[in-house]
Amino acid sequence: MITRRTALTAVAAASASPILTSAPSFAAAPPLAGTQAPSFFRYKVGDYEITAVGDGFLQRPLEGFVRNVDVADVKKTLVAQGLPDTHIRVPYTTLVINTGSKLILMDTGNGEFAAAPTTGRWMANFRAAGFTPEMVDTVIFSHFHGDHINGFRKKDGTAMFPRAEVMVPEAEWAFWMDEARMNAAPEAMKGAFKGVHFAFDPVAKDVTRYAWGKEIAPGITTVRADGHTPGHTAFVIASGKETMMFVADVTNTPILFARHPEWQVIFDMDPAQAILTRKRILDMASADRIRCAFYHGPFPSAGQVSRDAGGYRLDLIPLQDAI
């Protein structure tokens, strides 16, 4: 019988043997990974389990990113938060809500249309979180910009989520599916219209178009949040005694646009309305102490906003309390 003592003795004897007297050789350090690990993160809202699923990020130059302020001011805001002042990092984070009886996906990421190798990670992350596309019962869209809808359909035109019911903002649908408006749009905007058609034409007859102020799925209520796009929508997610909001692109990165709600990101289609919406939604979240999930915040892109001098402070979700 090998006891711990005899085993240790054997090891000691082996170490003393002549062939093992040279310095122990360890394996070489593993190569640097150079990429992010699968990015998904779970938290609870009442009985609902929410999984934030990341789709990587895009690195953007500072020049031209904020319409109405100097680059120097943007740099100052980044440095004040301990961030590099050489670029803006814009991540993408969708939400998967497991209500206990339904799996609901909020926005779909870039899918097979990623603009850089740092994005296009969504499906790998979604699968790493234990999900498959066939599990999705419902896809709810906040608005129709490509980084939110492109993951809905594969490049070959087939559906990414074969069983899913599709819910879209009524006002968004009216704007982007208007043939005459697409034809009249400047050339630079035609691609966006075409992307919407590519995603939704095959299911046009079946989509559910939702209005604002309605509970469209158990515990999920739509909130008017236009300005970023004509039908841009935020969502209150409530279960039991807990409530949170998915605010989508009410801010682009909250690092800049929660801090400075008057700043205009280049992607806001109606900048003045977007500012009004941003303040209304963030005021509500701050006053009522409702946690927010953002689409473009630092992963896992959720936290509590609080009114602060001139803007809002974002305290990221405390990880140890998440689940």
CB of 148 to Zn ion, least distance (A): 6
Tell me how far apart the alpha carbons of residues 103 and 264 are, in angstroms, rounded to a whole number: 34
CB of 92 to Zn ion, least distance (A): 7
Q: What phi and psi values does residue 311 have, to the nearest 5 degrees? A: -170, -145
Looking at the Cβ atoms of 57 and 126, the one nearer to Zn ion is 57
Looking at the Cβ atoms of 46 and 271, the one nearer to Zn ion is 271
Residues 6+ apart with CB under 8 A from 255: 77, 78, 81, 83, 297, 298, 314
What is the DSSP code string of 204-246?
A: TTTPEEE-TT-EEETTEEEEE-TTSSTT-EEEEEEETTEEEEE
Looking at the Cβ atoms of 48 and 126, the one nearer to Zn ion is 126
Structure tokens at 208: 């559910």
How many residues form the binding site for Zn ion (CB under 5 A)? Answer: 3
Structure tokens at 291: 């946690």
| 311-316/302-308 β-pairing | antiparallel
Binding segment for Zn ion among 46-54, 109-117, 118-126, 141-149 (CB under 5 A)?
A: 141-149
Looking at the Cβ atoms of 120 and 219, the one nearer to Zn ion is 120
CB of 151 to Zn ion, least distance (A): 12
Structure tokens at 275: 């500012």
Residues 234 and 283: beta-carbon distance below 8 Å: no
Binding segment for Zn ion among 146-154, 165-173, 192-200, 303-311 (CB under 5 A)?
A: 146-154
Looking at the Cβ atoms of 238 and 282, the one nearer to Zn ion is 282
Structure tokens at 79: 């440095």
CB of 110 to Zn ion, least distance (A): 10
Binding segment for Zn ion among 23-31, 32-40, 209-217, 245-253 (CB under 5 A)?
A: 245-253
Per-residue string for binding with Zn ion, 204-223, x by CB under 5 A? --------------------
Binding segment for Zn ion among 16-24, 37-45, 81-89, 140-148 (CB under 5 A)?
A: 140-148
Per-residue string for binding with Zn ion, 147-176, x by CB under 5 A? x-----------------------------
Binding segment for Zn ion among 8-16, 68-76, 82-90, 143-151 (CB under 5 A)?
A: 143-151
**Among 136, 249, 254, 261, which residue sits at the site for Zn ion (rule: CB under 5 A)?**
249
Sort 34 into a burial class: Cβ within 10 Å, 0-12 / 13-18 / 19+: exposed
Tell me how far apart the alpha carbons of residues 76 and 69 are, in angstroms, rounded to a whole number: 11
Structure tokens at 140: 């709810």
What is the sign of the dihedral through the CA atoms of 131, 136, 142 and 143?
Answer: positive
Per DSSP, 153 falls in state B
CB of 252 to Zn ion, least distance (A): 7
Residue ranges binding Zn ion (CB under 5 A): 145, 147, 249
